[in-house]
Amino acid sequence: MRLILVVVFFLQIINSAKAQSPLTFSEVESRSYKLYSEQKWDSLIDYLRAANKAGINYYYLQARLGAALYEKKKYRSAAFAFQKALNYNSADSYAKNSLYYSLLNSTNTTASRYLSGKSESIRKETDTLGYNKMGFIYAEGGVKFCNKKEPLGNINYFNLGLRHSLGRSITLYHAFSFLGQYKHYQQIKQSNYYLGAWIQLGVNWKLCPSVHLFWINKSQQTEIPISPPRPLARASKSNEQAFSLVLQRSFRVFDLGAMASYNNFDGIKAGQFGGYLTLYPFGSNVFSATTTAVYHTRKMAAYQTVFKETINFKLLKYLWLTGEYAYGNEQVQLQSEATFPANNSLDPNNYRYSILLTSPISKSVSLYGFYQHEDKDENATNVSYTFNSIIFGLKIKL
């Protein structure tokens, strides 16, 4: 028994020594080429990553790594490998085209379009695929159900959005939305126009400014609310604005963003400053998790620091789920292509959570359903109430 243990012990030392013997270029080149030719993608990825850690790096290593990651559908990681390959050989059309398709397949269409603008060869080969001036149309509508119909009321909502590009570096998103709240003693109608932009500053940098304009019409109150006693509100019109700026840098398995926003909701000027980290642990969009922290400048207890967690993953072959939980009152949300980018309600959120289900029903059309629960406190009375929103939408690729 002792002899067996001794033998096993020495074998482990030998194996350990073998594993630690330094890799040489010729070994890496011949073995990686063999694995590449045999299309053993998992082994190739592990081997090339080990070689890279051992200090061996050159064009073909990164190009083969990119190819293996691409074959495994880890498009995000593949994109970074091809970028490294291009650092060694900036004119290489294989690496350029592969980078383009990796970005496109990881749904980073703004970056892929930006890249096509930098390369005539990509434009020639891919113009029918990646670049179209008109992007998407969104149409969505729904109801926010309030649990306290007196003195509050449900809100009807409708939104029409259009995404299109301006050249190859800028993508714009326009949204026209309408909200109507019908309390039995007053009506509030709000029209919004939202304009957001994604400006691609490089393959891995995005700048996202936005402006959100609100036109609010309140009718004359027909009776005094139950509590507390206050004079009848007159009919009024007001305009509000919100501006935001997000700067995002992409890395292989995560995005890092910083944001700042300004709004004049309720006639009070306020700002939000914060940042977010989005993780892509599998090197693709199959699963991502975003943690956001935002600080409010509005000095009221209701406007504390906001923490938000968002996860996004592929639930089934044709079904994507996005779940979100936000603690605190986030007045201006980070850019999103649907739902409300801004919450200009007088009544702040304590917390909210939501679920978005998206299903592509064809190459051009996706359907989505959105549910959100908001826990709020009424501004004047501090009475707690909730909104449960149900929204359905359609996204059509043009």
Partner 1 sequence: MKKLLFLLLTSNILLLTSKAQDNDKIALAFKNSYTNETAAEYTNAIQNIKEVYAADNYEINLRLGWLHYMGGLFTESQTYYQTAMNLKPYSVEAKFGYVYPAAALGNWEQVKKQYVDILKIDANNTTALYRLGLIYYGAEDYMKAFTNFEKVVNLYPFDYNSLLMLAWSNFKLAKTREAKILFQKVLWASPSDASALEGLGYIK
**Which residues of this chain interact with partner 1, rule CB under 8 A?**
24-26, 29, 56, 58-60, 63, 85, 87-92, 120-121
Burial 56-70 (b: 16+ CB within 10 A, else e): bebebbbbbbbbbbb
Q: Put residue 196 in one of left, alpha, beta given phi > 0 → left and psi -120 to 50 → alpha.
A: beta
Residue with tokens 């650092």: 87
Q: At what angle do helices 25-37 and 59-71 cross, to 10 degrees?
A: 30
**Any idea what DSSP says for residue 335?**
P
Which H or E run contains 69? helix 59-71
State which residue, 72 or 123, has the beta carbon closest to partner 1.
123
Structure tokens at 231: 């004079």
Phi, psi at residue 4, to the nearest 5°?
Answer: -65, -45
Query: CB 127 → partner 1: shortest distance, Å?
Result: 16
3-class DSSP assignment, residue 238: strand
C-alpha separations of 2 from 5, 6, 10, 13, 115 in Å? 5, 6, 12, 17, 64
State which residue, 121 or 305, has the beta carbon closest to partner 1.
121
Query: CB 396 → partner 1: shortest distance, Å?
Result: 36
Query: CB 88 → partner 1: shortest distance, Å?
Result: 4
State which residue, 16 or 90, has the beta carbon closest to partner 1.
90
Query: CB 59 → partner 1: shortest distance, Å?
Result: 3
Query: CB 132 → partner 1: shortest distance, Å?
Result: 24
d(CA 356, CA 391): 9
State which residue, 91 or 301, has the beta carbon closest to partner 1.
91
Query: CB 64 → partner 1: shortest distance, Å?
Result: 10
d(CA 104, CA 320): 18
Structure tokens at 130: 């990646």
State which residue, 87 or 222, has the beta carbon closest to partner 1.
87
State which residue, 24 or 236, has the beta carbon closest to partner 1.
24
Q: Which residues 6+ apart lie within 8 Å of 340 measured at CB?
A: 177, 333
d(CA 339, CA 350): 19
Query: CB 65 → partner 1: shortest distance, Å?
Result: 13
The dihedral through the CA atoms of 97, 98, 104, 110 has a sign that is: negative
Q: At what angle do helices 41-53 and 59-71 cross, to 10 degrees?
A: 140
The dihedral through the CA atoms of 69, 104, 111, 316 has a sign that is: negative
Residue pair 143/388 in contact (Cβ under 8 Å)? The answer is no
State which residue, 62 or 186, has the beta carbon closest to partner 1.
62
State which residue, 25 or 193, has the beta carbon closest to partner 1.
25
How many residues are recorded in the chain?
398
State which residue, 58 or 178, has the beta carbon closest to partner 1.
58
Query: CB 57 → partner 1: shortest distance, Å?
Result: 9
Query: CB 92 → partner 1: shortest distance, Å?
Result: 7
Structure tokens at 311: 């996860």
